[in-house]
Structure 1
Amino acid sequence: MINIKLSKTIAQKIVLEMMNVIPYNINVMDENGVIIGSGDIRRIGNIHEGAKKAIDNQFVNEVYEEEERMKPGVNEPIIIEDNIIGVIGITGPPDEVRRFSKLVRATAVLLIEQCQLDEEIQNKKLNMQKFYHELVHRKIEYDEKFYGRAKIYGMDLTKKYQTILVNGNINSQKFKIICNKYTHYCDLDNNRGVFFIEADQSYNLLLKELKNNKEINKISIGGEEKIIAISLENAELAMKFGIKIKPSTLIYNYNELKFFIHLSYDTKESLVSLISSLDNVGSKLELIQTIQAYVEENGDINSVSSRLNIHRNTLNYRLERIKQLTGKT
């Protein structure tokens, strides 16, 4: 048995569309003969006796004389895959309305099948978004079942993906056009979204389109990872620290910023080791003071430069010098 069910919404849509074409009242009944769509809304919810006979006999039922609960007309079953899912009723003398019966039934079937297809497409999109949301939160190793689910949506998780995190007006029409071109995308909240993409030609094309889109305020790249959620976490960190260090920059790359990120999140032992490295290369005391201030101010460039009483450009130069001297990346 098929699962197609004739809804009230589809039934009324059939009625309205067809009554613009033919000059007779149309009723649409469900599989039990109950009127669920009609040009005469007063009849909705009533049992249609002519439809019930058409369902019982599985054949067209024509009514010639008006009776207590029936008006003259033609009642034709709507059959999809050998199942009666409803009945089309056209009120009027059968000899006059018969020629419209097949047209209305065929149109009804097309509308029902289209609505069914639209619903299936919508359900697939919904399930895909559910999977993407699981993908951005799952930090444990993928199993065979998860790999299989990913393949349904065209993702081969045995390969490394990287995330491109965007901040801006993600509900704009121009941004939606980009999303439709690059399938693997997920909204994170009202102004942030993430693309999952392999490092191939499409990566460069997407980045170029995002750079040229005026609706995008910031872009952050998380780098290639076996676990996509880790790449997204890196992208979020890169955006957080990138905005502090270089607020006017459009694109932040985790691989370029992870030294400064680790500087603020490393353990005390790591910090001691880093300071020792600077001592070994004979660096000035100001570089060590810069590291200490950077860590204590949680990477906030304005706070660090104010605390050290130096210009932002001087601070950025020192941080780059620390990176070069220690070999930290």
Structure 2
Amino acid sequence: MKLSKPIAEKVTKEMMKIIPFNINLMDEKGLIIGSGDKKRVGTLHKGASKVIATKSIHEIYTEGDGMKPGVNEPIVINGEIIGVIGITGDPDEVRPFSKLVGAAAKLLIEQESISKKAQNDRIKRETFYHELTYRKTSYDEEFLQQGKMYGIDLTRNCQAILIKGNFHSKEMKAFLDHFRHYSTIDNSKRVLFITEHSSFKEVITNLIGRKEIEKIAIGEKEGFAAISHEQAANALSVGVKIRPSEKVYYYHHLKLFIHLASNHTEFPSSILSVLESLGNNQELFHTLQIYMEENGDIIKAADKLNIHRNTLNYRLEKIRNLTGKNPKVILELFELICSIIWLSE
């Protein structure tokens, strides 16, 4: 532990509101780091130097040798002198105040130490889960033990659940604090890791029921958490394009389309460019998405879009004229599906 300058300044400022004497706080070397006399900050305090050398209280009754009357007392924590308190005045008068200032300084130092430890623990935890999110090399014993310390058994297959939504509510913060095994991807995404698969359904049910959660994407059970996370990320990326109304996307349901999404370099760019322009016309683009989502069922798609069937047919015909692909012909619809998947994010 250490007596820092901010703590010294805080103790000096607050104590001098109730103590009618000047207070000096010195570090472990005897340098003044907090004082009612701002001009003395940064200078060496001779009385403190003697306290550090003798490891005992040093009281001065008469002024001389650059020192004023007062009490200089060591601040001792765990048997170590971490600083010195100096109160200017008649030692018999200021001695009780020295104990009070010392107690206040020790309390703040211990609070700062606890706060720093909590912060360091949080950073270590975040670093561990960040590495778990992206690491695709074998987990060494140290990493496995670290996981065990946090309550996650990495000798078992891990399943990633990628969630997108608003994480600022008290309810979501409480959920994540309780769940614990997660990593922050960005402001709107978190990835949860499950190795105790008996709790999977409970977690998913909990997430589906939360209004703060917009989308949920689920990877497979894998030896590396990073692979399952990658699967979940791909499921989200593809799922929102071809099944925009759904809340939950499973990798194994979308595997074919995900693989298609990574192999399209030879595909003609003409349809893609037209669809990108359709993206500016949200009405047509969304119509195509819902039509695909409803498996080409005109009645269901029209109902979901809240339009007449004739209006839907008119829009589909317009898409056909623009792209050269007829959404009502299964192979051409498949080309349109692939094109939407291949559109840039």
Q: What range describes the TM-score normalised by the shorter chain of this pair?
A: 0.7 to 0.9
Residue 89 (structure 2) pairs with residue 109 (structure 1)? no
Task: Report SS of the residue matched to 1:188.
Answer: strand
Amino acid at match of 1:92: G
Residue 226 (structure 2) pairs with residue 229 (structure 1)? yes
Q: Of 128, 132, 157, which aligns to 1:131?
A: 128
Q: Of 51, 56, 59, which aligns to 2:56?
A: 59
Which residue pairs with 2:183 in the alignment?
A: 186
Name the CA distance, whole Å, in 2 between partners of 1:209 and 1:19. Answer: 54
Residue 167 (structure 2) pairs with residue 170 (structure 1)? yes
* Superposed displacement of residue 234, structure 1: 0.8
| 1:179-328 superposed matches below 5 A | 179-200=176-197, 202-265=199-262, 311-315=291-295
Q: Residues 255, 7 of structure 1: CA spacing in aligned structure 2 closer, same or farther, 3 A cutoff?
A: same
Q: Percent identity?
A: 47
* Structure 1 length-normalised TM: 0.75
CA contact (8 A) 1:60 1:74 kept: yes
Q: Deviations over 1:115-172 (max 9, x none)?
A: 1121122112112211222111111232323212322333210122221212233355
Q: Deviations over 1:152-203 (max 9, x none)?
A: 3332101222212122333555433322122122111232221222344654
Q: Deviations over 1:2-47 (max 9, x none)?
A: xx22211222232234334433332210011101112332221111
Which residue pairs with 2:152 in the alignment?
A: 155
Q: Unaligned 5+ residue runs, structure 2?
A: 298-329, 335-345
CA contact (8 A) 2:157 2:223 kept: yes
* Superposed displacement of residue 68, structure 1: 5.8
Which residue pairs with 1:121 in the alignment?
A: 118
CA contact (8 A) 2:72 2:86 kept: yes
Q: Residues 15, 174 of structure 1: CA spacing in aligned structure 2 closer, same or farther, 3 A cutoff?
A: farther
Q: Residues 250, 50 of structure 1: CA spacing in aligned structure 2 closer, same or farther, 3 A cutoff?
A: same
* Superposed displacement of residue 263, structure 1: 4.7
Amino acid at match of 1:77: P
Residue 22 (structure 2) pairs with residue 25 (structure 1)? yes
* Structure 2 length-normalised TM: 0.72
Amino acid at match of 2:292: R
* Superposed displacement of residue 309, structure 1: 12
Name the CA distance, whole Å, in 1 between partners of 2:62 and 2:94. Answer: 14
Name the CA distance, whole Å, in 2 between partners of 1:213 and 1:22. Answer: 54
Task: Report SS of the residue matched to 1:164.
Answer: strand
Residue 71 (structure 2) pairs with residue 91 (structure 1)? no
Task: Choose 131-140 or 206-215, whichever is displaced more.
Answer: 206-215
Residue 29 (structure 2) pairs with residue 9 (structure 1)? no
* Superposed displacement of residue 52, structure 1: 1.1
Name the CA distance, whole Å, in 2 between partners of 1:182 and 1:309. Answer: 35
Residue 47 (structure 2) pairs with residue 50 (structure 1)? yes
Q: Residues 75, 221 of structure 1: CA spacing in aligned structure 2 closer, same or farther, 3 A cutoff?
A: same
Name the CA distance, whole Å, in 1 between partners of 2:289 and 2:122. Answer: 54
CA contact (8 A) 2:243 2:290 kept: no
Amino acid at match of 1:75: N
Name the CA distance, whole Å, in 2 between partners of 1:20 and 1:195. Answer: 50
Which residue pairs with 1:279 in the alignment?
A: none
RMSD, aligned CA: 3.4
How many pairs are equivalent?
Answer: 289
CA contact (8 A) 1:305 1:311 kept: no
Q: Of 75, 79, 84, which aligns to 1:82?
A: 79
Amino acid at match of 1:97: V
Q: Residues 309, 42 of structure 1: CA spacing in aligned structure 2 closer, same or farther, 3 A cutoff?
A: closer
